[in-house]
Structure 1
Amino acid sequence: MEKFTTLSGIAAPMPLVNIDTDMIIPKQFLKTIKRSGLGVNLFDEMRYDRDGNEIPDFVLNKPQYREASILVAGDNFGCGSSREHAPWALADFGIRCIISTSFADIFYNNCFKNGILPVVLPQDQVDRLMEDAEKGANARIEVDLEEQSITTSEGEKFTFEVDAFKKHCLINGLDDIGLTMEKAAAIDAFEATAAQARPWV
């Protein structure tokens, strides 16, 4: 998993509330078990019309937001079913950080396991970041996980809370497999001892 320390990027404003996982990646795209290739279908029903043409008014279709790596979203982002394909699609598109007043619990935890930093801030601070994001590609937001801060394009800084263990995992690029592999030597030693003690197993 890619490490997350600092991020300077274009932020796309998505003020909708209750953006659920089916809106993020519709159910017809859940057949794959690969984490790559889903970015093209991110927000599929909002990005494309029935003929597969881009809807110009959708934020990620606008030229100034095509390279967005941050989403500033409305309340309760990631609600609905617990599909892990949702953070897969966001990450594959290039989204590394999502800022909102609240997230659905399962989606929030899945973000950390897939290299995405979900940040919870008070409404007034999210509103300020939403205004900043609406300036387009010239307004880059800075996210510093080490410092636990977000800085607007005008230098205004907000701090956020994050679980120490989740922070450690993101900074070091550790998903569940990575965490297990950190204990590889201890696991190998245990297996060797167990094989000697119970060779019939």
Structure 2
Amino acid sequence: MSDDAAGHAGDDAPEDDGAAVPAIRRVAGTGVPLRGDDIDTDQILPARFLKAVTFDDMGEYAFYDQRRDADGELNEHPFNEYQGANVLAVNDNFGCGSSREHAPQGLMRWGVEAIVGESFAEIFQDNCKSLGIATLAVDHGDAVDLQDFIEANPDAGIEVDVREETVRYDGKTVEGDVPDAMREALLEGIWDTTAVMRTNLDRAKEVNDSLPYTDD
């Protein structure tokens, strides 16, 4: 569970100025290991589900094809085996391919709140930021060690600290990297720009009215 999304702001989190977007300092929970490099957005969320009118059911479409065998029955894919986990552990170039927003939407609605991996496709990572999903890049060995640990200890706690840019588990702390723009947006609660604008409509209207080139 993300720390501040649960209503527990960090010690030096900014004061609430009326915005409904929570600051996210850390994410704590259990993990789901997903091995493999270059897992693209078509694997994460198959293209045939993009025609959905809303994102509401995207969670059930996450890794839809990989989670099923040739007969359409659920297999031993991690997203079947680790239900309820919220920290996704991946490898290199995760989220490559098309820029579809549906991929991180599907992960978020399945339950993912943070992703730890070797590297991420830039557009995918930016889409994660816009949904409040923290991504932490770590070394190859550290990513594999985390996946090994989760497989051996599926119920063990894992904590991703956005402020400190670390992942903690099994009594150890692993340093990583959260992009500056993501780190700032999550910590200051400005990652959902649409929600921020909605809660500041009066201020936005004042700015609009002050501009000489806008209609009354």
Structure 1 200/53 Cα, relative in aligned 2: closer, same or farther at 3 Å? closer
Could you tell which deviates more after superposition, 111-120 or 42-51? 42-51
Matched residue, 2:142: 125
SS at match of 1:45: coil
Structure 1 199/145 Cα, relative in aligned 2: closer, same or farther at 3 Å? closer
Residue 198 of structure 1 deviates from its aligned partner by 7.2
Matched residue, 2:94: 77
Q: How many residues align?
A: 195
Cα separation, 2, equivalents of 1:100 and 1:93: 18
| C-alpha RMSD of the superposition | 2.3
1:28 to 32, 48, 51: 48
Residue 39 of structure 1 deviates from its aligned partner by 0.6
Gaps of 5+ in 2: 1-20
Matched residue, 1:157: 173
Q: Is the 8 A contact 1:115 1:173 kept in 2?
A: no
When normalised by structure 1's length, the TM-score is: 0.86
Amino acid at match of 1:188: K
Residue 181 of structure 1 deviates from its aligned partner by 4.6
Residue 175 of structure 1 deviates from its aligned partner by 1.4
Residue 199 of structure 1 deviates from its aligned partner by 9.0
SS at match of 1:46: coil
1:61 to 80, 87, 101: 80
| Equivalent residues in 2 for 1:70-109, closer than 5 Å | 70-109=87-126
Cα separation, 2, equivalents of 1:8 and 1:166: 18
Structure 1 29/50 Cα, relative in aligned 2: closer, same or farther at 3 Å? farther
Could you tell which deviates more after superposition, 13-22 or 178-187? 178-187
Could you tell which deviates more after superposition, 45-54 or 29-38? 45-54
Structure 1 80/198 Cα, relative in aligned 2: closer, same or farther at 3 Å? closer
Residue 136 of structure 1 deviates from its aligned partner by 3.7
SS at match of 1:12: strand
Could you tell which deviates more after superposition, 108-117 or 174-183? 174-183
Residue 80 of structure 1 deviates from its aligned partner by 0.8
Structure 1 200/130 Cα, relative in aligned 2: closer, same or farther at 3 Å? closer
Cα separation, 2, equivalents of 1:11 and 1:112: 19
Amino acid at match of 1:139: A
Residue 68 of structure 1 deviates from its aligned partner by 1.2
Cα separation, 1, equivalents of 2:132 and 2:214: 41
Residue 169 of structure 1 deviates from its aligned partner by 1.8
Amino acid at match of 1:90: L
Q: Is the 8 A contact 1:10 1:136 kept in 2?
A: no
Matched residue, 1:46: 66
Gaps of 5+ in 1: none
Q: For 1:82-117, what per-residue CA distance to the aligned partner results, in whole angstroms no more than 9, with x for missing partners?
A: 100000000000011111111111111111011211
Amino acid at match of 1:159: E
Cα separation, 1, equivalents of 2:214 and 2:73: 62
1:9 to 29, 32, 40: 29
Residue 60 of structure 1 deviates from its aligned partner by 1.8
Residue 126 of structure 1 deviates from its aligned partner by 0.9
